[in-house]
Structure 1
Amino acid sequence: MIAAAAPAETAIRRARDQSNRRIAAHDADGAVAMMADAVLVLPSGGGPISGRAAVRAAFAAGFADPDFLTYERRPERIELAPDGLSATETGRWRGLWKPRSGQPTLSGRYTARWRQDGGSWITLSEIFEPEPA
């Protein structure tokens, strides 16, 4: 028998799914809606991006590329902290572009840190590690 997912895990998985859908729709505002104002993102191929506004700008710049399709994050594990108010998500990510772009599919592992805030789960940080060559 498989145990049912805890409410926090279910909520985080839903938020991640919604974020993936908004990125696929090239919705920069929606892509960062679940992020804390002071979110810190460490992308696989660049320096840190600090703050929701800066992350939004990075998404908007990526969405301007006509060959960009989406970034996907697929959670594999969500661990709730003992206080029940924070959690760590780990999984796999990939970036997709149209085949004509010549851009390879990028992929790797990621870790995200979450906090419950007013009944909703928000992302505090995300770290994206590239797949080893």
Structure 2
Amino acid sequence: MIIATAPAETAIRRARAQSNRRIAAHDADGAVAMMADAVLVIPSGGGPISGRAAVRAAFAAGFADPDFLTYERLPDRIEVTADGSGATETGRWRGLWKPRSGQLALSGHYVARWRQDGGRWITLSEIFEPEQA
């Protein structure tokens, strides 16, 4: 792998920022709009979630919590495959809740795999590791 070329990195960072905004707005459909139908997500505190519909349902359940604020993924590095058709994103993530919840934040590191599909970048998988104490 090589470090991302500017256009691919910019497109992926924009897609990530849009996803973060949709999660903050508690928009379950928008939160999964950039994901492949067969996406695989491994959350930090649970088992794998397979498929966009299942990930959407997980987001909707989280959004139903009145104390939940948002999840953010903050990319540090994006690398593109030599042929330009795929990419790997690594960075830090955090989840935020209202103070009354007793659980203000969770955080850690993540890795996401991307693929170009019809001129746009879609997420194939995301793995979230919790912060180590």
TM-score of Structure 1 vs Structure 2, range by shorter chain: over 0.9
Aligned to 1:68: 68
Q: TM-score, normalised by structure 2?
A: 0.96
1:108 aligns with 2:111: no
| Superposition pairs of residues 39-118 of structure 1, within 5 angstroms | 39-118=39-118
CA-CA distance at 1:49 after TM superposition: 0.1
Question: Residues 101-124 of structure 1: CA distance to partner in whole angstroms, max 9, x if unpaired?
Answer: 001410000000000000000000
| Superposition pairs of residues 28-43 of structure 1, within 5 angstroms | 28-43=28-43
User: 2:91 is paired with a residue of what secondary structure?
Assistant: strand
Equivalenced residues, count: 129
User: Unaligned stretches of 5+ in structure 2?
Assistant: none
User: Unaligned stretches of 5+ in structure 1?
Assistant: none
Question: Residues 58-112 of structure 1: CA distance to partner in whole angstroms, max 9, x if unpaired?
Answer: 0000000000000000000000000100000000000000000001410000000
Q: What amino acid does structure 2 have at the position aligned with 1:26?
A: H
Q: What amino acid does structure 1 have at the position aligned with 2:123?
A: T
CA distance in 1, matches of 2:20, 2:79: 20
After TM superposition, which residue ranges in structure 1, 4 or more long, deviate above 4 angstroms? none
User: 1:124 is paired with a residue of what secondary structure?
Assistant: strand
User: 2:8 is paired with a residue of what secondary structure?
Assistant: helix
CA-CA distance at 1:51 after TM superposition: 0.1
CA distance in 2, matches of 1:15, 1:104: 26
CA-CA distance at 1:6 after TM superposition: 1.1
Q: What amino acid does structure 1 have at the position aligned with 2:116?
A: Q
Q: TM-score, normalised by structure 1?
A: 0.96
Q: Report the identity percentage.
A: 88
RMSD between aligned alpha carbons?
Answer: 0.7
CA distance in 2, matches of 1:108, 1:115: 24
